[in-house]
Amino acid sequence: MAKYGVIIIGGGFEATAIIIVASSEYRKPGVIGEGSLSGYGVSYCATCDGFLFRDREVAVVGGDTATTDALELSRHVGRC
């Protein structure tokens, strides 16, 4: 079985499998009520949640990423 190596600051290790989990935090616009509506109409992932808004009107708020999210959503929603 193949072994893979990972070198990190302060050392390293070997394993037969390596799972790397990277995370990011969405920048939230800070709109009143945003937190209480998260998961109930407010979403931060067009790719993950776009189908939930099929044939509905949606609004996209943000900068550069919002443009790509709007393009992604346009494949699912009624009007973006």
The one-letter code for the residue type at 75 is R
Query: Quick check: is 80 catalytic?
Result: no
If 0-12 CB within 10 Å is exposed, 13-18 middle and 19+ buried, where does residue 48 land? exposed
Q: Which of 45, 64, 69, 80 is catalytic?
A: 45
Query: Quick check: is 45 catalytic?
Result: yes
Give one DSSP letter per residue of 40-59, joined into a string: TTB-S-HHHHGGGGTTSB--
Query: Quick check: is 49 catalytic?
Result: yes
- From residue 29, how far is each of 56, 60, 73 by CA, in Å? 22, 11, 19
Q: How many residues are recorded in the chain?
A: 80
What average pLDDT values come out for the chain (80 residues) when binned by 10 residues? Answer: 66 66 68 81 82 81 81 77
Please state whether the predicted TM-score (pTM) of the whole model is above 0.75: no
